[in-house]
Amino acid sequence: MNAEEKTVLIVDDDSEVWDLLYYIVRKEGFRTEKASDGEEALEKARGMTPSLILLDLMLPRLSGFELLRELQEESTADIPIILVSGRHMDQSTLDLLKSEPNVKDFMEKPVKPQVLTARLHALLGTRPTGAKE
């Protein structure tokens, strides 16, 4: 499947981090949508049903943790989520977050572009830019 057919919702309130994630995701050919707070992200997730969500945990208006709970509801439960955080998490917190059915991975900031692109392609069943069929 082509990356151009997939939309990644990037949820981060830090514009510099968002710009970096946007660049990485677009470079691989994916369409992107942006949300800068939890309420906007929930509205977009419900309205457009993205192929995958990159979710920062520290957000205004509705925290990433609260948003994650909301995304477990029926209409959004099948959207894979990669959690992104600049805060170090203890193993029990990580295990709890990863136990949510649609959480597929956790990445600490700064995100390594090659790791992120590999996970995106693996989760979405797409091929990296320039890869042969």
Give the model confidence (pLDDT) of 69-82 as tens digits: 999 999 999 999 99
- How many angstroms separate the CA atoms of 120 and 130, rounded? 15
**Whether the Cβ atoms of residue 37 and residue 62 lie closer than 8 Å to each other:** yes
Total-model pTM: 0.93
Least confident of 13-22, 55-64, 86-95, 108-117: 86-95
Q: Show the tokens assigned to 128.
A: 């990296």
CATH architecture of 3-124: 3-Layer(aba) Sandwich (3.40)
Report whether pLDDT(130) > 80. no
Residue ranges of domains in the chain: 3-124
Residue that has been written with the tokens 């677009």 in this structure: 26
Q: pLDDT tens, 3-23?
A: 999 999 999 999 999 999 999
